Amino acid sequence: MSHRTVPLKLAPAGLVVDRHEIGAAGITVHAHSASPTSDCPACGLASSSVHSRYGRSLGDLPAHGRRLRIRLSARRFRCRNAACERQVFTERFAHDLIQAHARRTSRLDVLTHAIALALGGRPGERLAERLSMPVSADTLLRVLRRRAIPTPSDVRVVGIDDFAWLKGQRYGTVICDLERRRTIDVLPDREGGTVAAWLAAHPGVEIVCRDRGSGFREGATKGAPQALQICDRWHLLENATAAFVEAVKRHMGDLRRAITGGDIDPEVLSSTLRISGSAAQCVDPPVEEVGVNFDGVSAGRGR
């Protein structure tokens, strides 16, 4: 079904809507630029001399729960500046309307970026589908990378850690400026060579804060030999916790004997066990059948 009288708000400001169609796949809006001229990207001179037209397809904000696409009739212009190296150029749009080579309007790109920031790849893909603005997980991650804040040239203290593009399958590396407390780059993998190349391109780095794995250690040593390498607090705590758990496991027998040398005092049982009546079951069995969890002094059947 085609309509010729349509609200202008179906397309962003700066575009003129010619008509729109509503179908099973969503709404298609046919539009063209509201501006009669465009500036040459080489010399900046405005031109109104149209050379030819071509079609562009752009995703835009959904409307009334339906996916919306804009079929844009774009133009090529002749540059009338005799001294200019460009004879023909494609028309430019305002940066906050449509960016060069973009496949979605800038206002949709802003929302896509917000979803990618909040949810990442797969969960973001699922939410975007529900919002009638489908976008793939890979595209969400590309948008994140494209809109990343440029790396400051004077970055001095960096934190390096890995993260999952796809859990269990593909990992990347996130680099943070720890003095500015913000992410400054995302690397496609977690290889030491990739990290080394990044650090080599940022010779001002004085401190590298990393985990205790060999990959980042080698990358930092090779790419930033001038930098001091330190372990970050999170990984130190994680390593200390793992060591503690391992020590408790090794000495579980001693702990059982020390804690349950006689009858179990119900006071040391967890509230859950006492309320559920399991305490009686735990007191009755012989000592060697009673287990102790280190995450609270609770007891249950031996393991």
Minimum distance from CB of 45 to Zn ion (Å)?
5
Residues 121/166, Cβ–Cβ less than 8 Å: yes
Q: Which is nearer to Zn ion, 86 or 217 (CB)?
A: 86
Does position 81 bind Zn ion by CB under 5 A? yes
Q: Which residues contact 154 (CB under 8 A, 6 or more apart)?
A: 204
Q: How far is the CB of 55 from Zn ion (least distance, A)?
A: 24
Closest by CA to 32, choosing from 60, 56, 68, is 56
90 binds Zn ion (CB under 5 A): no
Is 270 a residue that touches Zn ion (CB under 5 A)? no
Q: Name the one residue in this structure whose structure tokens are 């200390």.
A: 240
51 interacts with Zn ion by CB under 5 A: no
- Considering only 6, 22, 74, 84, the residue that binds Zn ion (CB under 5 A) is 84
Do residues 20 and 3 lie in contact, with contact meaning Cβ atoms separated by under 8 Å?
yes
Parallel, antiparallel or unpaired: strands 207-210 and 157-166: parallel
Confirm or reject binding of residue 40 to Zn ion (CB under 5 A). Answer: yes
Give the DSSP letter string of 208-230: EEE-S-HHHHHHHHHH-TTSEEE
Query: Which range, of 69-77, 80-88, 138-146, 222-230, touches Zn ion by CB under 5 A?
Result: 80-88
The stretch among 39-47, 131-139, 197-205, 209-217 that binds Zn ion (CB under 5 A) is 39-47
- Which residue stretch of 73-81, 111-119, 129-137, 224-232 sits at the interface with Zn ion (rule: CB under 5 A)? 73-81
**Which of these ranges, 4-12, 34-42, 112-120, 187-195, lies near Zn ion under the rule CB under 5 A?**
34-42
Name the region of 14 (left: φ>0; alpha: ψ -120 to 50; beta: rest). Answer: left
Q: How far is the CB of 204 from Zn ion (least distance, A)?
A: 39
280 binds Zn ion (CB under 5 A): no
Compare residues 28 and 81 and give the one whose CB is closer to Zn ion. 81
Give the pair of three-digit tokens for residue 176: 């943070």
Residue partners of 114: CB distance under 8 A and separation at least 6 = none
Report, in Å, the least distance between residue 40 CB and Zn ion. Answer: 3
Does position 37 interact with Zn ion (CB under 5 A)? The reply is no
**Which residue in the block uniquely carries the two structure tokens 């930033």?**
224
Residue 42 binding Zn ion, by CB under 5 A: yes
CB atoms near residue 128 (< 10 Å): 22
CB 158, CB 175: distance < 8 Å: yes
Contact residues for Zn ion (CB under 5 A)?
40, 42-43, 79, 81, 84, 86
